[in-house]
Amino acid sequence: MNEALEAYRFDDAARAIYDFFWGELCDWYIELIKPRLSTEDGADKNAAQLACRNLVSVFEASIRLLHPVMPFITEKSGTRYMTDSRR
């Protein structure tokens, strides 16, 4: 992605970010951690908290990656997310 941005190939950079966000984060990572996020009796609360913190970190990094190609959308969602997460 950095090479694409340095070469002003915003379409390639956007495609790489899109592929990561939907292909890796949404399709795989979230599906893999769903069992760890369970709040049922006997569930490991520490594992759930760790999985949630990791997901938040990856989401924040994804918003930063998206910002150069979608500044208005990421500004709005990032501001809303940061406000909600501080509650």
Can you give the pLDDT of all 87 residues of the chain as single tens digits?
788 888 988 889 889 888 888 888 888 888 888 888 877 766 688 888 898 889 888 888 888 888 877 788 778 776 666 655 554
| pLDDT given for residue 78 in this prediction | 64
Question: Could you give the angle at which helices 45-66 and 71-85 cross, rounded to 10 degrees?
Answer: 150
Is 3 buried (19+), middle (13-18) or exposed (0-12) by CB count in 10 A?
exposed
Taking a C-beta distance cutoff of 8 angstroms, is the pair 63, 74 a contact? yes
- Look up tokens 């941005």; give the residue: 5
Q: Rounded distance, CA 57 to CA 59, Å? A: 5
Global pTM exceeds 0.85: no
